[in-house]
Amino acid sequence: MFHKEGNKIILISFSLVVILSLVANYFVGNQLYKGGIILTLVVFLLLILQFFRNPKRHFPLNEAHVLSPVDGKVVVIEEVFEKEYFKDKRLQVSVFMSPINVHVTRYPVGGNVTFSKYHPGKFLVAWHPKSSEENERTTVVVKSETFGEVLHRQIAGALAKRIVNYAKEGETVEQASDSGFIKFGSRVDIYLPLGTKINVALNEKVKGGITVLAEK
């Protein structure tokens, strides 16, 4: 199963692979070279397919839990001053996604979307300290009955050239439903109220909509 954001790219990639394979088969006489070209094209297509995969999952929805919005590795757990929306101290948990991770972004909590904003910016590597303030990004805040307002921020990385954000202010969203998609490597920051119990550790691998990042 593939995410809808990949439909156009998958179709174009498949068409190019078929056309170039036919061209190689017709014009390249050396069997070794021909086989190498076709193999490279097939590997390219497989990489595109795995990037846009959207596996079916059973989400353990729970209002007392904050679920990881994405697949990846926890790279930051710290108390910080959140400048854009809260303008006060929050607990930040950041998850870095490599190009081989599933890149669907899911709502960590359910509730009412109180803020949704896109910011154009740079494309620093996603683990750069300034990436959360200077890179292309989207900020979404959902007001949960249990945690109050929870902010998650999609941040483009050096390879991510497009962020898709589905959140619209005023709408009610369900925990673990699609919040957006980031194409080709990135990270997501989650900002939680001080005192929230964090359930993950640095360098721990997490799954979007599955792993419990924090609880009340």
For the annotated catalytic residues, the residue numbers are 186
Retrieve residue 131's tokens: 């990436």
For residue 131, CA distances in Å to 94, 101, 119, 134, 152 come to 12, 19, 12, 5, 14
Residue labelled with tokens 């086989």: 35
Residues in the chain: 216
Residue labelled with tokens 């307002």: 149
Residues 6+ apart with CB under 8 A from 19: none
Rounded Cα distance between 149 and 195, Å, is: 14
Q: What residues pair up with 148 in beta bridges, in sequence order?
A: 144
Residues 6+ apart with CB under 8 A from 198: 77, 91, 93, 192, 213, 214
Q: How far is CA 106 from the centre of its chain?
A: 8
Give phi and psi for 38, each to the nearest 5: -65, -40
Retrieve residue 61's tokens: 């929805």
